[in-house]
Structure 1
Amino acid sequence: MTGIDKFLAEARTTLTRVTPQEVDALRGTDALIIDIRPHHNRLAEGEIPDSIPVERIVLEWRLDPEGTHRLPNFTADTTVVVLCNEGYSSSLAARDLQRIGLPKATDLIGGFRAWSTAGLPIREGGTQAIT
């Protein structure tokens, strides 16, 4: 295994990845569900209720538990679930969040598409992402 496949496999060794059903159970708790999909995907396909869209380019700044540009109301102990379209980019993003001080960061297996296929709730998409 070489290239991106190796890089992805290494990133996932530190993650306790979660299923769509496990993420659904986290909705309404103090966990953060972070959607890093591009706006056009969220607009076309919808969003997970209670998720927070955050542009990938600012993800680490908004989720650094000690950063001055962070989102409010979370700590280093907060469970953070990152999702992308199919669960690849989100694994790399979650690994990066662990590196900056969020040991409970992980990602959604199969991404938004797995959530949708599972028939779980979807809200209308297009929420303005945090930049």
Structure 2
Amino acid sequence: MPAKMKKGYRALIDEAMAEVKTLSVAEAHKLHEAENIVFVDIRDVRELKAQGAIPGAIHAPRGMLEFWVDPESPYHKPIFSQDKTFVLYCAAGWRSALATKTLQDMGLERVAHIDGGFGAWSEAGFPVEKKEK
């Protein structure tokens, strides 16, 4: 018999969505070329290779994100210390909602995510760049 969850994934996502800034795909597209905005793709590398990515987005795999953001971490990436707004996305907006909430909890103030994620972006016909296989 499987263990009973105290709080399932849906509850975690709902809680995150209530606390984070969520951009519609149209709002995200308007911000795409802005100098003070960094799009962050948190999907697995296999998803990027299979589906492509939003042009100019940096890739920060979900499993490494907290380590790359924290300046105290040996894995810190300097991009996350810049005075920018970070717009996270995943495939559908679930992982990015959780990741955005985590980054807010860590103290990153200017962070948002895209509702519907990369799927919504590509369905809207917005630009996608292919990644090397």
For normalisation by structure 1, the TM-score amounts to 0.84
Q: Does 1:55 align with 2:61?
A: yes
- Provide the residue aligned with 2:32 in structure 1: 27
- Provide the residue aligned with 2:87 in structure 1: 81
Q: Which amino acid aligns with 2:16?
A: A
SS in 2 for 1:114: helix
Instruction: State the alpha-carbon separation in 2 of the partners of residues 76 and 101 from structure 1.
Output: 14
The 3 A distance-change label for structure 1 pair 39 and 75 is closer
Segments of 5+ residues of structure 2 without an aligned counterpart are: 1-6
Which of the residues 13, 16, 21 maps onto 2:18? 13
Deviations 1:27-74 (A, max 9, x none): 23222211011111111111101100111111012123x435432244
Structure number having the greater strand percentage: 2
For normalisation by structure 2, the TM-score amounts to 0.83
Which of the residues 84, 98, 105 maps onto 1:99? 105
Contact 2:25 2:115 in 1 (8 A): yes
CA RMSD of aligned residues (A): 1.9
Segments of 5+ residues of structure 1 without an aligned counterpart are: none
Contact 1:40 1:126 in 2 (8 A): no
* Structure having the higher Rg: 2
